[in-house]
Chain A
Amino acid sequence: MEALHLQTNHLNDLAGALREHPGSGQDPISIGLSFLEGKGFKTPRFYERVRDYVAKRDYFVLSQLAPGGARTDCLGAVLDYDRSRFARIEPNGLPLKLSREEAANTTPEVLDIMRCLQVQDLHVLHIGLSLADVSIGQIVASWDGDYARLSESDLHSLRVVGLLISQALQAQVRHQRNVVLEKVRRAIQHGSPSQGIEGLLDALCSSVREALGARIAAVFSYDWYSDTLTKVSEKHETGLVSDTYFEKSITRGTTVTGSAFSQAIASVVLRSTLDDPRYRELVNPQSAERHERLLGKANALLFRSFGSTERPLLLRLIGRETDSKHVFGQRHCATVDRICRDIEEVIGNQVTTRRLLCMQASAAAAINNVNDLNSLINIITSDIQHDQVLGVLAMLFDVQSVQPAICELSLAGASASPNRFDIDSAFLADLKNCKNSETIAIEGHPEAQAAGSCLRFLRERGVRHLLPFRFPLRNGWAIVAFLLDDVRQSSKLLYRLPEKQKSALESYAGLISNCMRAAETTISADNARRLIGHIGHEISNPVAELGEGAIEAIAEAMDVADALKDKLGNAEHQRLIRQWDAKIADINKKMSNVAINMDIAMDMAQETNGRIEVAFEPFDLSSLVYRISDQVASEVGLYFRPTDKCEFVFNDAALNYKSFVGDPRLIGKVFLNILRNALKYSNPPGGGRSIRISIHGNPQPGLAIFLVKNWGVPVPEGKKELIFRAFERGEQLDRLRAKRGMGLGLYIARRFAMVHKGTVICRSSVPTLIDPARRQREGFETTFEARLATNLPVGTYEVQL
């Protein structure tokens, strides 16, 4: 389900949202607004503003439920459901509006909170209610109760209840509506309209659970509702946040009802809503002062709800846009300031540790799919957001001597974000001057010990320099050291880490380690590549001589057999000839395999230290792919029986890339390796049928995309990236099938695609058959995707991979 957010002041939007739960196909916004208009609520201008806002924003926002006028009561509901899916926190302080893709683009501070809360997989839906602008007269007119005995404040409450019950819940929970109505009537009869609110909340929670399978995470309310709502909130495990609780939580440090998490989320939402100038436009101007106070309370609660290590982060978040007085409000400012000072004093630089973890998590996520250092540089240079990646890698690899670009970028990143890369200069000076790890360890600093291990680790890998690049404070070194395999188990390094973070750290460490290994492979591969080139060139002739010599000998033997045919007899002669023909075929097959591998090796050798010369020119891409498919089809005997056949099936789009600019040599290699891979890992179809490989074109603006699909050996989920690494091959199953190769084909395909500002990925590998036996026989459907830019300039270039 999409996260829906709507900024409006009316409860019937809640009804619309509930009505709109998956499958109904209705538009809750239009339903809600139509209803409002139908009832003549407020002025048309107001609804136009709402509608415009909704049209632009397309989301629901927590608003307020107020029983009237300047009284700005709050009933905000945060629906917490489907944790397996997430969403996003919207930048700029607006409430949660969530999608994975956009989460990556949100502000680092918000992401920090997300990570700290570990709610990456939380899908949040806000539904806001505000009746502050509802025409009281309309409501009263539509309510058939007896108001004569009620006080003015009770009338306000009653109007709220009436609207909630008679309108908001009518669509989704008709059967409950009567129950709630009855509760309200009883409440009125007993002169206690707050009972009606209790019924309302009860019904609301139940209906939400029923409609969405979720629970309301938190409810905001005013003091005068809180007593009665407590029972309901406990019943429904719903957080309840009221004036009193705000006060308590700030001044006495007591725990408020409901989970701190729920309240924290709710506070974030409330704060954001109140802070949103667009929201302010929609509410009664007389409520401004009240808003200000609520804002302070919300921030205070927010602050309180987080653990000590997260608070400074929140301070950063809050302080990013405004000063503390504005944020916390006059009444709470002094309290909050004191808390801030206390926390800063107590937890010291621990926030830096957490911040670093966030950085590293972000870095790890960014580099998780990176196969080698050069790819990483591409990512880094294309996205300044990942300057922390530089930090991690520069620390871990010190690739200054190998990749000067990284060093330069590291420096650029450090200077661009001086605060983020603050440093304990004395400590680092010690580090740089130390001759071995023990020197620092003796000084009794765990960080130093860790850093010493780190240094040793780096030096063992040929590190010659420490980059003038720093992590924030000394704890960064400890964490970096922690990330290294050989010191990860050191209990001394864990003393600062909360227990619940250790598993996450393990995960991050794994990612970083993978990246590190990939980088090491790349660095060594640069040297190996030259060697491969020489070997590839020099080995061809001797192997050819061996093979040709063997064939010559066999051919001579066949000639002799021909000469002796009479003595041998026809049958024996035929047997010998068939046997020797088979021998020749076998030799040819083996030589072809060597040729393929040598070809790949020499392709590798074309690349020098990550650079390759290319000549982009116009050519017919479809024809090239078609020719290559012919070549690959002719190789079927290398991997299957000589009688097997391979058939490539093209769609129209795949045959329609007539005009393409690129380096045909390299593009040829891209497709040769992809198609060859598809053939190698196909299952023999049996029954005289051909092996079938489909090639589908899927043109996109600026991109030529080919989807190559085969049916056979699956690519396990965890291997989809691994197979693109140099010298990586599939495991057991591949070896069982004895596919010959060095594990370079897909690596080269991707590298050469990257030259064309594209890539090659394993898009999917899925079973297409339920029957396990048939699946075993007919295989998984595996799709590789090749993407190539179509806007490359003609000319000769040296491309940095």
Chain B
Amino acid sequence: MGAIDVAATGLKVMKDIVHTVADNISKKQAIGFKKVMMQATDLPYNTVSSPGTIANAEATEKPSGIQYGHGAKVSSTHRILQNGELKRTENPLHVAIMGAGYFGVTLSNNRIGYTRAGAFQINKDRAVTTLTGELLADGITVPDEIPVSTVEISEDGIITGIANGNTTERVEIGRLTLNTFNNEDGLIAIGNGMFLETAASGEANNTAATEGGSGKLIHKSLEMSNVDLMSEMVDLMDAHQISDALSRVMTAANEMEETLIKGK
């Protein structure tokens, strides 16, 4: 592989980094979104002589060999799982997680999806759903006689409300549970802030909130994204600068080859 092809692999990595930056920035306002970090790694090497081989003339071990690299590739994307900032919304059906847990949601094809976006609403049957209308796996319905505005959710997920005409007595409506994973990084994102479990993540451990590292619930708040514009801009500038350098390498390699062919 010549210098031009090697530089091209680098350009492709830079392009993918810019793509990730664009994606992160565009989701700056998405509830519960975790920024994605792209990691690059080096491609295999062409070993002309390996370190430790016996050099003929000196009959000593060469301390180092000759290896030509083939460039770089994207190795992984992973989410930075730090909690985002909380935003107080005063909506009785908004709840944020301070910890590593996920809400379970029943998806259209009966699969369970997991989300950290705790912006809920009720549907025509007064069942609690996500903003896209999927029912919570916990199956919570706010009874007709309890106005939504009286709903309170405790740190450990117990949902209570006050029935019409009764000004003091709180009635338990249901309980929100959380799900944790052995390997949170192994979840796969399917859009709408929704994730599915995979063999890599392991099965969900369904626990009560505040137990098993799932975190406590903060009522009437939402978790904002943890995208930090400053660090995204730094990544963008880096990628831009490196792309510039790579195209200069390509031009130089091209000129050198041209000189060689023309044999001036």
Q: Do A and B come from one complex?
A: no
